[in-house]
Structure 1
Amino acid sequence: MILCAGESLIDMVPADGTFRPLAGGAVYNTAIALGRLGQRTGYLWPISRDPFGDQILRPLAEAGVNTDLCPRTDRLTTLALVTLTNGEARYSFYDEGSAGRMLHADDIGPLPETVTALFAGGISLVPDPCGATIEGLIAQHHDRLPVMIDPNIRPFFITDAGAYRARLARLLPMADIVKLSADDLEWLYPDLSPEDAARAVLQTGPRLVLQTGGEAGAKAIWAGETVHAPAVRTTVADTIGAGDTFNAGVLASLDRQGLLSKDAIAAITPDQIRAALTLGAQAAAVTVSRPGANPPWAHEVPT
């Protein structure tokens, strides 16, 4: 089971002059996408007992995602006010004292033996106590479990850039796979080209650094020659959840190829990497073709 640990929230999405509440969050979207793609998936994040908490739980259940590790709380659900500019999403967060923000280490029980990999990232890595809790979870288990991290950096959400850079400097070396957009790489290494920045991340310890670039497709920076996969052409409704779905496609492909172990990732081949990037791109193309974070089901992507 791939365990996705990180934020869920309600996206308030523009709709005919008002806002429509939709369940979202980077790590939540990845968990939903993995479940819809047919992979055994678990989710770990506090879920509020407010009505929005129930709205968050329904898609997880429909996708077959295990939520046994999710603590329930009376704290309120995080809200993200979404604005769209030429299809690109921008967010304003209402998060202080929220259900997820207040995640502590003692809220997390022992991980079951069925967990075979960890995925984490998003804004859940930024504030404390939740950021420290996710960091601690990864530190506790990365020696045994393969870890994928997508920091999905939102500069406007980061109040202490130095502290967050220090956290990423501790976290990224513990990951086997790191996914970064061109914007993420520019924030991390503003003086380097995207590929040089990705190689700088690779040198800290990950086996694979995946770089996404929208219409430019995706590439994997690793010990061998760079592997490319083109973007899938489609009519874009918006980009909400695109990167999150890409992550799910990559993990689903690795899982199907029997590569979700530390030894297997260490011995991965270019063709195996390309297959993972391709499924990621195919899944993301479905998500961007329809409004909101609405990842594909298994029958909607090539097998």
Structure 2
Amino acid sequence: MDLVPSKVEPGSLRPALGGGPYNVAVAAGRLGVPTAFLSRISEDDFGDRLVQRLVDSTVDITYVQRGPEPTTLAVAGIGPDGGARYTFYAEGTADRLFRAPEVLPAMSILSLGTLSLVLEPGASAYEDVMRRANVLTVLDPNIRPVLIADPAAYRARFKRWLPDVGLLKLSEEDAAWIAEGDPVEAAMAWPCPTVITRGGAGLSVVTGAGELVEVPAAPTTVVDTIGAGDTVHGALLAWLHTEDIKSVEQLRGLDANSWREALRYAGAAAAITVSRAGAEPPFAAELVIGI
């Protein structure tokens, strides 16, 4: 649950449903592709609201685990540039106690990211799912340095994930933090296609052939950027599903024109999200209008 500054009552906070993989699931579900959420959600009031929003966004909740632990809170502030910054209250919360199912649900694409792969014991459970899924995996590290106690250990762990990842999606700030250097140079060295979000500068991808493809940001009026990167991630998943891209080999074979189409689609979705307060990804009908 994000607690974000209220634009109606300055100085106060309003609750907004959120969380990286959660926003991705909502974005993909709203864009009309079959989406399921695999996580643990609290049985508290916030948890009930989180689950209901998944249902309202046509996300399958069959694999959602529920527990009595509280919901994680992220207090969001908005910087002068409209960007989000967070303080987290995550000790002993429900999502950290996720357990990997003995039998994984059927899937064609697996999406993972953000704090789910940082905070134990859940992080190891999600990593177990990644190792066992044997499907096209899309990863957004979504770095929150304040929650990473040992950056060197995290960077080493990230490198161990890469053989199981078919597509990376991350911000240029996150790529620079992980690589401790230039984001594009880092993406050129990573073994999978990598989409990089660059805020108002648009989107880039280093393709499977090592080619850099860039598209500008879609025109919009920015209210705040909460959920923008997650919307890009969810829209990329929707595009991959629509184009029947289900394997690493297919993904690596995409040419520059196909990637431009994918990035424009994702950018159009994100442009709608940033025009609203909080993480409110568009439904498919809105995206058609937005394009």
Q: TM-score range by the shorter chain?
A: over 0.9
**Alpha-carbon offset, residue 262 of structure 1:** 2.9
**Alpha-carbon offset, residue 35 of structure 1:** 0.5
Q: 1:220 touches 1:226 (CA, 8 Å); kept in 2?
A: yes
- What's the % identity of the aligned pairs? 41
Counterpart CA distance in 2 for 1:124 and 1:163 is 16
Partner of 2:272: helix, strand, or coil?
A: helix
Partner of 2:224: helix, strand, or coil?
A: coil
Residue matched to 1:225:
211
Q: 1:253 touches 1:275 (CA, 8 Å); kept in 2?
A: no
Query: Is 1:102 matched with 2:97?
Result: yes
Q: 2:44 touches 2:70 (CA, 8 Å); kept in 1?
A: yes
Q: What letter is aligned with 1:170?
A: R
**Alpha-carbon offset, residue 138 of structure 1:** 0.3
Q: What letter is aligned with 2:203?
A: A
Counterpart CA distance in 2 for 1:261 and 1:174 is 12
**Alpha-carbon offset, residue 269 of structure 1:** 2.0
Which residues in structure 2 correspond to 1:281-300 (within 5 Å)?
Answer: 281-300=267-286
The CA deviation string for residues 124-182 of structure 1, in whole angstroms up to 9 with x for no partner, is 111211111111110112xx310000001111121121221122111123111001211
Which residues in structure 2 correspond to 1:1-303 (within 5 Å)?
Answer: 10-15=1-6, 16=9, 17-86=11-80, 87-105=82-100, 108-113=101-106, 115-141=107-133, 144-190=134-180, 192-200=181-189, 202=190, 205-206=191-192, 208-222=193-207, 223-302=209-288
Q: 1:27 touches 1:244 (CA, 8 Å); kept in 2?
A: yes
The CA deviation string for residues 189-213 of structure 1, in whole angstroms up to 9 with x for no partner, is 22x322112112x2xx22x111110
The CA deviation string for residues 234-260 of structure 1, in whole angstroms up to 9 with x for no partner, is 110000000000011111111111112
**Alpha-carbon offset, residue 267 of structure 1:** 2.2
Counterpart CA distance in 1 for 2:210 and 2:42 is 45
Partner of 1:136: helix, strand, or coil?
A: helix
Partner of 1:243: helix, strand, or coil?
A: helix
Number of residues of Structure 1 aligned to a counterpart in Structure 2? 284
Partner of 1:301: helix, strand, or coil?
A: helix
Q: Which ranges in structure 1 are unaligned for 5 or more consecutive residues?
A: 1-9
Q: Which ranges in structure 2 are unaligned for 5 or more consecutive residues?
A: none
**Alpha-carbon offset, residue 97 of structure 1:** 0.8
**C-alpha distance 90-35 of structure 1, shift in aligned 2 (>3 A):** same
Q: What letter is aligned with 1:247?
A: H
After superposing on structure 2, the runs of 4+ consecutive aligned residues of structure 1 that deviate more than 4 Å are none
Partner of 1:135: helix, strand, or coil?
A: helix
Partner of 1:80: helix, strand, or coil?
A: strand
Query: TM-score normalized by structure 1?
Result: 0.90
Q: 1:251 touches 1:276 (CA, 8 Å); kept in 2?
A: no
Q: 2:170 touches 2:195 (CA, 8 Å); kept in 1?
A: yes
Q: 1:23 touches 1:56 (CA, 8 Å); kept in 2?
A: yes
